[in-house]
Chain A
Amino acid sequence: MALTPILTAHWDEPDSHTIGGYRRHGGYDMVPVSLGVHPDEVIALVKESGLRGRGGAGFPTGMKWGFVPQNDGKPHYLVVNADESEPGACKDIPLMLANPHSLVEGCIHAAYAIRANHAFIYIRGEVPHAVRRVTAAVAEAYAAGFLGKDILGSGFDLDIVVHSGAGAYICGEETALLDSLEGRRGQPRLKPPFPAVAGLYASPTVINNVETIANIPTIIRNGADWFKQFGTEKSPGFKLFAVSGHVERPGIYEASLGTTMRELLEYAGGVRAGHELKFWIPGGSSVPMLLPEHLDTPLTYEDMAGLGTMLGTGTPMVFDETTSVVRAISRWMHFYKHESCGKCTPCREGTFWLEQMLERFEAGTAIEADIETVDEICKQIAGRSFCALGDAAATPYAPALKYFREEFLAGTHTSADELFDPVAATVFAGAAAR
């Protein structure tokens, strides 16, 4: 399959992030079109397109919009989850840097569809450059009359607030994001009620990923059938695949869903010269790893599920043979322990314990029984934590053990650094060799 540059089509233009650059290619042209039809028609179109959420869970976007009760007398809110924090995930932030107006325009269509007059873009606090870009884009859109009161004379009002997070991974969880946006500590909320019924300020709220919203203008412009020509029946459309790790040309490759990892590897120039693929992860650290034998499985929601993993954010990480699986898992555990919000016991205490256990494997001081203990700790977290963060923390170990048990056994006597020179896995080691 060939690359399908749609969202990324003009990212190489110097003014791609400005309203001028965006409008040159028809940006915002569709605003009067969707504002001219009934909001339900916009929802119907998005439903018809089969667009699924690009944040990781893959929930059908049109259906999510349809859950918002109408004529309930309450304000509705659109919240864009731009808190991209998953290790390995790097697609929303480049999108916001290169083409923030696609996000802003998507917000207009989405907010109109769900009858929201306020939209919030919650951006990860560690990326102030993205916050600046989006803030500037929103200002430009206001100046051009695409935001504010009575947009283009349609009678539709929309205000967009760009909100910078304060550096918590948990705030990517949608209900924690809402708490954070309301000024509270970011911790996930008890569901029900679901955000579609009682979200931000206890009002109906739709929370969508950046890439999901950026897809909307293309669907409005080209129609559902056009959108469905990409991808598969269950995973229609195209995707920003952010390939990172031990490849020659890491970066974002926009392709149809259903593209295989082997194809993506080719686009990325293959595994680093002189090295071979050891394992890869299709979509962020929270999804189970895969092996070279899985390279030809289409990258779709359903095919990844078939392999016991998930498409997740669609941001594959590639690891070559210089990688210590133990060290990789240990790093992720450190991350999850650091980012656990503390609300529920399994995640708060389990990640605290797992980090120490993985450190032992990494240091070569584990005992053989630890292998089972860690497995049991993971099972005691998975499915029992309050939100998906706990599940995510418990995910990487089991497949790693399944595929690379010998490395964990080695962790009972030899440190990971002795087995795998940490320098060899770095980018600069590759550069020096070249």
Chain B
Amino acid sequence: MTITTPGVSPVTVTSGITLSVDGVDITVPKGTLVIRAAEQLGVEIPRFCDHPLLAPVAACRMCLVEIEGQPKPQPACAVTVAEGMKVRTQVTSELAEQAQQGVMEFLLINHPLDCPVCDKGGECPLQNQALSHGRAESRFTGVKRTFPKPINVSAQILLDRERCVSCARCTRFADEIAGDPFIDLLERGAKQQVGTSSDQPFDSYFSGNTVQICPVGALTSAKYRFRSRPFDLISTPTVCEHCASGCGLRTDVRRSTVLRRLAWDEPAVNEEWNCDKGRFAFGYAAEGRLTHPMVRDESGELVVASWPEAMSIAAAGLRRAGSRTAVLTGGRLTLEDAYSYSKFARSVLGTDDVDFRSRPSSAEEIEFLAALVAGKPVGPTYAELESAPVVVLAGLDAEDESPMVFLRLRKGARLTGVKVFTVAPFASAGVAKVNGRVLTAVPGAEAAVLDSLADEVSGARDENRLEAARLLREPGAVLLVGERLAQSPGALSAAARVAKATGAALGWVPRRAGERGALDAGAIAGLLPGGRPITSDAARREAAAVWGVDPASLPGSPGRDLGAVVAAVNADTKAIAAAAKPSDVVRSVQALLIGGVEANDLADPAAFVAALDAVPFLVSLEQRHSEVTARADVVLPVAAVAEKAGTFLDWEGRPREFAQVFREALTLSDSRVLAMLAAELDASFGRGDIASVRGELASFGSWHGDRAQAPGHAPPEAPSVGSDEVVLATWRQLLDRGLLQEGDPFLGATARAGVARISAARATLLAVATGEAVTISTATGSITLPALVTTMPDDVVWLPANSDGSNPRVTLGAGHGDIVRISGGVV
């Protein structure tokens, strides 16, 4: 067995160490800390600075215990067990008890004891342990140390210094776990305090964890400060909807309002951490929601309607369109909801025009997912990342796009020597923090770089490539691909070739929480649930059996993806406009059923909006107003995650089930709405409730039949780039203008400012320095941002994909790999 202790290299345990704690013998692995051994016996030694995921510091001295043979009491959090060691804790040792009471008395002399107004009151380790291990009254009658209160460590994190017990959990978290050592202890003695440097703000995607692990009320979040007392909260274990990391959370509710979310203890997934987006971005579900169904009145205005009226209009429209309906869904869907769309499309509408990828995508991606991802068992896993000899990332910036993958990689890099390589144009901040090395790829050239890894010798000139290629062939090696590779033709084919050639485990890390579930639910053209090819008779028979329909009624050939659907609508429109007799033109797409798609997320937002305008009938299942609801014939409001139970499959494929937070919620899940629609269409569909949907999903079981071959697309020729042109690299930063981050201004204020990354040579050419404006433009528009000179290829510019002042898809009509013009200054 292998155990890992923070700050210590993992040790392989060959035999246990037997010690006694309070007279009871226990055998634990070598390297175990006394405090952990005592925990296993149910002896809780009080502690503040100790945290099982942080390296010991033994600073607070609260956990002092008596160890036979030692003249002084010893900190249980820092002493490792030894054979025959006799430990006596406060339970049996007067010395230990006195030492702990003494430390507690000291901790309280400078503590304000303002528990009645402190957010931590009621869930405070200091408060709790003062009651269990302290004296009833303080003997301190002097003058306490005070500080002006509070100070902003960041826009979100507030610090009341007088409450701090200098345990250094926050600073150690920032330094060890997040790799953002921008808070540290300053000053000395009783004046010691947590602070930031004047020129380096606490710029961390993980800052909220410091609030959670603070054992006193010194660190609070602007989001939650003074909002509630812990004993007034109702807590529900939930799963984060913001990305495919799958973090376990605890959602705390007071009077039907979500007040905060905490990272929950999920050792296999997020350990005890989460990112600030998952922690603080939940305001979107509280404001601006659709509350009632809406339909078009005679004048074409959207007006509130009753559910039966809206249902009957929606059903009528869909009945008319039938299999000429396309079903487009977005990344917010749970596994169960995605499954219902998948089933509704095939069994009710008889269409296979289904796509969950509301983002730039490709047909090659469908082939890739069908062959290598859909319906596959869990893995590679977080644990495998931590122990892999190498993890190669391609088209994936882990810190921005899957923060828990990033934290695991950092843990692995720091403690077990995991080597990380990234196929990217440059080393982002997150890559540096995992000691990652860049296998430099201009956007579009990812396939070529990956192919050089498949063939161990071809990249011989590049030492990093050679090492990555060698390590990928070691057992346990992992290759992780991000959704961005779909924008780089041939790259996913190349990734499949690398995995096959090297034997490395291949993981697909989409950015959104719902994508892996939607894939496995078959919410994509060509695939039925569980990765079953729709072209397979056996697969259709299995699906038809579960759905209780005639197999012949299911579409037997792959449908169109989102891009093809949009193109078809717009082509029909064109044909109608050109036709002498428009009524002769039969539209191939007559209705759209859309849930969770945002126009600006797509490769071509304008074409999508044009299709929305043109399509004869549009039904929208949505939480909030959008471009789609504005154009829909029928708008049906659906539940946000806190209002329903569900499951997200994280990037590993691990089911992450969560419970309903608002048990009294009146909103309906997408599944329930689709079930009602199906009933209105007289189709056999089931109730769409969580239990029956999960039951159906379970009855599908695994698919053992044939699968599509992995794609074998060859990379395209490298495009020629003019002297004032560069290739655009772009992805979304974790904190940006994403719709699910609306309503959280403190969080928004901690987002990283938009910059345009260019190489030093390019900067010289443009006569700009870091901080000076550069303008990136196309025929569609231009973006001007401060330059950030970066070690990267000269013919690449990087822009954030959806940050303040930078949304290249919308403004430039350009995405990852497209060619754009660049110039210095403001144009």
Contact = CB atoms under 8 A, between A and B. Distances in A.
B165 interface: yes
Contact of B143 (A337, A350, A356, A373): A356
A325 interface: no
Interface stretch (A19-27, A138-146, A295-303, A339-347): A339-347
Given A357-B142, A383-B73, A342 B189 contact: yes
Interface size class of B (residues with CB under 8 A): 35 or more
Nearest to B189: A340
A342 B188 contact: yes
Interface in B149-195: 165-166, 184-185, 187-192
B503 interface: no
Contact of B145 (A185, A345, A352, A379): A352
6 closest residue pairs by CB, A with B: A342-B192, A380-B102, A349-B106, A356-B142, A340-B189, A383-B72
B61 A385 contact: yes
A373 B109 CA distance: 14
Contact of A345 (B56, B140, B165, B185): B165
A384 B102 contact: yes
A190 interface: yes
Contact of B189 (A352, A356, A379): A352
Contacts of A341: 188-189, 192
B188 A168 contact: yes
B130 to A, nearest CB: 13
A342 B190 CA distance: 6
A350 B103 CA distance: 9
A345 B106 contact: yes
A345 B166 contact: yes
A272 interface: no
Contacts of A168: 188
A47 B763 CA distance: 63
Interface string A348-371: 111111001100000000000000
A79 to B, nearest CB: 22
A192 B102 CA distance: 25
B59 interface: yes
Interface in A371-426: 373, 376, 379-380, 383-386
Given A349-B110, A353-B142, A383-B71, A337 B189 contact: yes
B61 A342 contact: no
Interface string B50-74: 0000001111111010000001110
Contacts of B62: 345
Interface string B753-791: 000000000000000000000000000000000000000
Among B109, B143, B187, find the residue whose CB has the most chain A CB atoms closer than 10 A.
B109
A159 to B, nearest CB: 30
B139 interface: yes
Given A349-B106, A356-B143, A380-B105, 9 more contacts: A340-B189, A342-B188, A343-B57, A345-B107, A346-B102, A346-B103, A353-B109, A380-B103, A384-B61
Given A348-B166, A380-B106, A342 B191 contact: yes
B188 A353 contact: no
Please classify the interface of chain A as helix (H, G, I), strand (E, B), loop, or mixed, using the class held by over half of its residues.
Answer: helix
Contacts of B681: none
A348 B190 contact: yes
B635 interface: no
Please classify the interface of chain B as helix (H, G, I), strand (E, B), loop, or mixed, using the class held by over half of its residues.
Answer: loop
A395 to B, nearest CB: 14
A170 interface: yes
A342 B186 CA distance: 10
B99 interface: yes
A386 B106 contact: no
Contacts of B143: 356
A262 interface: no
A338 interface: yes
B56 A344 contact: no
Given A384-B64, A386-B58, A342 B185 contact: yes
Interface string B286-298: 0000000000000
13 contacts: A341-B192, A342-B188, A345-B61, A348-B106, A349-B106, A349-B190, A356-B142, A373-B139, A383-B71, A383-B73, A384-B99, A384-B103, A386-B61
A348 B189 contact: yes
A125 B297 CA distance: 83
Contacts of A338: 189
B338 to A, nearest CB: 50
A386 B59 contact: yes
A384 B72 CA distance: 7
A237 B98 CA distance: 42
Nearest to A347: B189
Contacts of B192: 341-343, 348
B78 interface: yes
A353 B106 contact: yes
Contacts of B166: 342-343, 345, 348
B188 A350 contact: no
A307 to B, nearest CB: 19
Contacts of A345: 59-62, 103, 106-107, 165-166
A190 B58 contact: yes
A337 B191 CA distance: 10
B73 A384 contact: yes
A344 B59 contact: yes
A190 B140 CA distance: 30
Contacts of B59: 343-345, 386
A353 B140 contact: yes
Among B59, B107, B190, B192, find the residue whose CB has the most chain A CB atoms closer than 10 A.
B190
A323 to B, nearest CB: 25
Contacts of A386: 58-59, 61
Nearest to A184: B184
Among B57, B59, B71, B166, find the residue whose CB has the most chain A CB atoms closer than 10 A.
B59
Among A339, A348, A350, find the residue whose CB has the most chain B CB atoms closer than 10 A.
A348
A254 B107 CA distance: 45
Contact of A352 (B73, B102, B110): B110
A346 B142 CA distance: 17
A341 B59 CA distance: 11
A350 to B, nearest CB: 6
Contacts of B110: 349, 352
Given A348-B192, A353-B140, A357-B142, A342 B60 contact: no
Contact of B190 (A190, A352, A379): A352
Nearest to A390: B61
A168 B191 CA distance: 14
B182 to A, nearest CB: 15
Interface in A183-197: 185, 190
Contacts of A356: 142-143
B545 to A, nearest CB: 63
Interface in B108-133: 109-110
Contacts of B145: 352
A345 B64 CA distance: 12
A142 B106 CA distance: 51
B61 A344 contact: yes
Contacts of A346: 61, 102-103, 106
A411 B559 CA distance: 94
Contacts of A350: 106
Contacts of B165: 345
Nearest to B62: A345
Interface string A299-342: 00000000000000000000000000000000000000111111
Nearest to A353: B109
Contacts of A337: 189-190
Among B78, B185, B189, find the residue whose CB has the most chain A CB atoms closer than 10 A.
B189
Among B61, B99, B166, B191, find the residue whose CB has the most chain A CB atoms closer than 10 A.
B61
A293 to B, nearest CB: 28
A380 B101 CA distance: 9
Nearest to A169: B188
B189 A351 contact: yes
Contacts of B78: 190
A376 B64 CA distance: 17
